[in-house]
Amino acid sequence: MSTSAFIVPIDPKAPSTAIPNVDIAKTWATVPRGEKVDVGTTSIFYDTPATKITAASSLGDNFSAKKGEVKRELVRKSVGSAVKALKVLNGLKEVTVDASADPHAAVLPAVAAHLALYDFSLKTNPPSPFNPNLKKPIPPKLEFKPIESSKEWDRGVAYAYSQNLARTLMELPANMMTPTAFCERAKAEFAGIENVEIFVRDEDWAASKGMNTFLSVTHGTNEPAKFLEIHYKGASQKDAQPIAFVGKGITFDSGGISLKPGEGMKLMRGDMGGAATVVSATLAIAKLKLPVNLVTVTPLTENLPGPSATKPGDIVYAMNGKSVEVDNTDAEGRLVLSDAIYYASTEYKPHTLIDVATLTGAIVIALGEIFTGVYSTSDELWEKLHTAGEQEFDRFWRMPLSEDYGPQIYSSNADLCNTGGRPGGSCTAALFLKAFAHGIEAEDGSNAETAMKWAHLDIAGTMDATRPTPYQEKGMTGRPVRALIEYVRGLAS
């Protein structure tokens, strides 16, 4: 068995001499679908040339006629399918990828190859590279390289590495991915990267800031809560106004006193997906040295029903002074985010703040696992996020952010209530968060030029994939890491 292979994405309707002495079109004409060869149809050829393996993967019928993001996604699917076919072969170590299917798309095969190779497991035979107790890292099963080195390929590797990191952080069980462990992993990932400072705050610091809604969620667990800050200064002016990312970091969500049903609760190890994605996106942004300033903050805690846990009906005062009634302790994400959003917006005065959270079951019902729901005060910000999402096929859908939902979360005993009932549940959650985004545009638009642009991304639906795609298996997705990186890259350019 050869130790090296070659991946060739091929338009089935176009003549190809990529594999000597092989008529690929004739080979594919024998597949059950006849002459229509679906994207990702892969054939493996041995001794082409001698001692080499070649995986020819279809780009789908009429590839040359496709445009824009559709064409880019076909390249990802083609390369991902080829990697899936190759990674089951024993002895294979190195794979060279032909990235010429799209002249500007070396980034696409790099992303697809590295995402398709990812396969999370903590089994001990063979040894798992995800074991947090490893003394030495286990090399990946396959090493990928392009025919010709390029910045686009390297960018694709950075995108995929960060998405895979987010997947790992979300997949690791809650006993291995505590708030403390999360911070230690973040520090290890950022070690040696230029222009980065990391601050790990504790509960006493949060109390000194008046972060009572955040701290109200910490009362049921003995696991110390953390508030992680990552500062990246890549702009030529180090004091230039930054972008801010805020990520929900509930490392395990039992629902607290308002306990969730037991079935499927283990999935709530991924309830820190917002924190995982913003930290991982920040890592790629810093690695790529994008010329922006970025502040990323993540409030990290478990939500458990301990003897001191917050109870339904309790009222706490948030950092911004508003009183909040806790109607349901399972609506904890907006409590930790409210203080974090207010802190980031007032302390660092960013021109744009994006928060990301596995926030509501309602968004799962509304959009499933295909689109991430976006709520924004800014048409401009929405358009840029939408463009970035389409570019990476990590797609967004804009949802209504209307004050007409307000009566559902206005409490008779406090300024706000942390739930508004089942109707429009994702919409009321977003409206709750809006009350803590300091400096956003006034209702009459009077401060539009100086206002902070804000968007809330509800990723509860896109957190987990229940069916595989050609370049991503079932499980935690790490979305929308690539879209966030692409958004910032678009700003920087």
Mean pLDDT of all residues in 357-383: 98
Mean pLDDT of all residues in 48-64: 82
Q: Do residue 304 and residue 423 come from a single domain?
A: yes
CATH code for the domain of 27: 3.40.220
Q: Is the pLDDT score of 15 beyond 60?
A: no
Per-residue pLDDT tens over the stretch 219-238:
999 999 999 999 999 999 98
Q: What is the mean pLDDT of the chain?
A: 93
Which pLDDT band holds residue 442 (cuts at 50, 70, 90)?
confident
Residues in the chain: 493
Last residue in a domain, options 149, 171, 195: 149
Which pLDDT band holds residue 259 (cuts at 50, 70, 90)?
very high
Which pLDDT band holds residue 10 (cuts at 50, 70, 90)?
confident
Which pLDDT band holds residue 83 (cuts at 50, 70, 90)?
very high
Which position has the token pair 């824009």?
Answer: 68
Total domains in the fold of the chain: 2
Q: Do residue 282 and residue 345 come from a single domain?
A: yes
Stretch among 31-40, 173-182, 442-451 having the lowest mean pLDDT = 31-40
* Residue 480, pLDDT score: 98
Mean pLDDT of all residues in 27-42: 67
Which pLDDT band holds residue 34 (cuts at 50, 70, 90)?
very low
DSSP run (H or E) holding 417? strand 416-417
| 377's tokens | 């005060």
Q: Do residue 229 and residue 267 come from a single domain?
A: yes
Per-residue pLDDT tens over the stretch 376-424:
999 999 999 999 999 999 999 999 999 999 999 999 999 999 999 999 9
Q: Is the pLDDT score of 200 beyond 50?
A: yes
Q: Do residue 98 and residue 164 come from a single domain?
A: no
pTM score above 0.85:
yes
Q: Do residue 166 and residue 278 come from a single domain?
A: yes
Q: Do residue 163 and residue 140 come from a single domain?
A: no
Q: Is the dihedral of CA 91, 93, 99, 100 positive or negative?
A: negative
Task: Identify which of 396, 401, 468 has the alpha carbon closest to the alpha carbon of residue 83.
Answer: 468
Question: Looking at the annotation, which residues are catalytic?
Answer: 260, 334
Mean pLDDT of all residues in 424-445: 93
Q: Is the dihedral of CA 176, 181, 182, 185 positive or negative?
A: negative
* Residue 33, pLDDT score: 47
Q: Is the dihedral of CA 122, 124, 125, 131 positive or negative?
A: positive
Q: Do residue 145 and residue 177 come from a single domain?
A: no
Specify whether the CB–CB gap between 479 and 277 falls below 8 A.
yes
Q: Which phi and psi (to 5°) does residue 4 adopt? A: -130, 155
Q: Do residue 336 and residue 231 come from a single domain?
A: yes
Which pLDDT band holds residue 135 (cuts at 50, 70, 90)?
confident
Last residue in a domain, options 121, 149, 177: 149
Q: Do residue 196 and residue 278 come from a single domain?
A: yes
Specify whether the CB–CB gap between 244 and 352 falls below 8 A.
yes
Q: Do residue 135 and residue 222 come from a single domain?
A: no
How far apart CA 434 and CA 360 sit, in angstroms, is 15
Last residue in a domain, options 125, 149, 173: 149
Range of the domain at 83: 4-149
CATH code for the domain of 320: 3.40.630.10
Mean pLDDT of all residues in 10-28: 66
How far apart CA 475 and CA 456 sit, in angstroms, is 23
